Amino acid sequence: MPSSAETTTPRGTVTVTEGRGSPLVIERCTPGPVSTAAVSTERAATVPFSTVHGRMLADQRGRAEGTLSTDQLLLFSPDPVVTLGSAGAESDLLLGRAALIERGVEIFTVDRGGETTYHGPGQRVGYLTLWLGEDERDLHRLLRSIEGALIDSLGELGLRGGRIEGKTGVWIEGRKIASIGLSVRHWVTGHGFALCVSGDLDPFSWIVPCGTQNCPYTTLEHELGGAPPPWDLDAILSKHFALHLDRVPQFDPKNDRE
């Protein structure tokens, strides 16, 4: 069973559930800028993981230092990549590192909580850069809010998503459709979620995804009989994330790199 630990910060104490599968990574936190109560959504097409990960780290640092004044939701589609979080292990790579690379899959160890997962074409990944006010620092409640935003987004598409007790993510009748993993630095979040929209799910069988071997996955395309238009999906995600995070959505079609 996971154990609980307290992380003391200059502005309070955060209780964090520790365990191999914890979806959170927390660094020592310091006071940050006052939230603008808005979240700006930016859309990008398929991009190399290293590029967007570097962008996320820069945004996270800028938000903590106050040079970035607005919370961000960056939506993008990744090239094939396997990422190992703080609880990830080499043994999670069932095919082995060399075989994955031969299949065109990059491998990165990253600064988020959780274990090992796959991202690739057909997924919509959302990186959340949020400065957390003093009343928002219950990080497990934050995870539930992210799940809630995804569940309500699925609901708007006509699907009934849900949670599984003891696990982080979103499922449809036992089939996983979204994964979540976060980092928190100086009370600013990084990383976020991955929603399976369409595409090949076989790469999940090449690894132990999120600590569960042979975990069944599904996609919006499979559940709906077709994938929703990308712009429509991003607008839905932007709206529900703003609602669940108690922020004003800023979703400008001109703020778009597709």
- pLDDT of the residue at 10: 36
In this predicted structure, what is the pLDDT of residue 38? Answer: 87
Gap between the terminal Cα atoms of the chain? 44
The closest alpha carbon to 210, from 189, 172, 181, belongs to 181
Predicted confidence (pLDDT) per residue in 45-72, tens digit:
888 999 999 999 999 999 999 999 999 9
Give the type of residue at 109. T
Low-confidence ranges of the chain (pLDDT < 70): 1-22, 24-36, 252-258
79-114 confidence digits (pLDDT tens): 999 999 999 999 999 999 999 999 999 999 999 989
CA count, 13 A, side-chain hemisphere, 181 = 26
How far apart are alpha carbons 179 and 217 in whole angstroms?
A: 10
Q: Say what the pLDDT of residue 227 is.
A: 97
pTM: 0.86
Tell me what pLDDT residue 251 has: 79
Reading the block at residue 54, the tokens are 């570097």
C-alpha 7/C-alpha 32 separation (Å) is 17
> Two tokens at 257?
């790199």
CA distances from 220 to 107, 129, 134, 155, 191 (A): 26, 25, 36, 12, 22
Q: So what's the pLDDT on residue 16? A: 37
**What is the predicted pLDDT for the residue at 6?**
32
In this predicted structure, what is the pLDDT of residue 226?
A: 98
**Catalytic entry in 29, 196, 210, 215:** 210
pLDDT at 207: 98
| SS3 at position 78 | strand
Alpha carbons 201 and 108: distance in angstroms, whole number: 19
* Domain residue limits, the chain: 17-250
Closest of 257, 110, 104 to residue 192, by C-alpha:
110
3-state DSSP helix/strand/coil percent for the chain, to nearest 5?
30, 35, 35
- Render the burial of 150-164: b for 16+ CB within 10 Å, e for the rest: bbbbbeeeebebeee
**Number of H helices and number of E strands within the chain?**
5, 14
Indicate the length of the chain as a whole number.
258
- 210 is annotated as an active-site residue: yes
Which CATH number is 17-250 given?
3.30.930.10
| 126 exposure class (CB count in 10 Å sphere: 0-12, 13-18, 19+) | buried
| 31 to 7, 12, 14, 172, 214: CA distances (angstroms) | 15, 10, 14, 39, 42
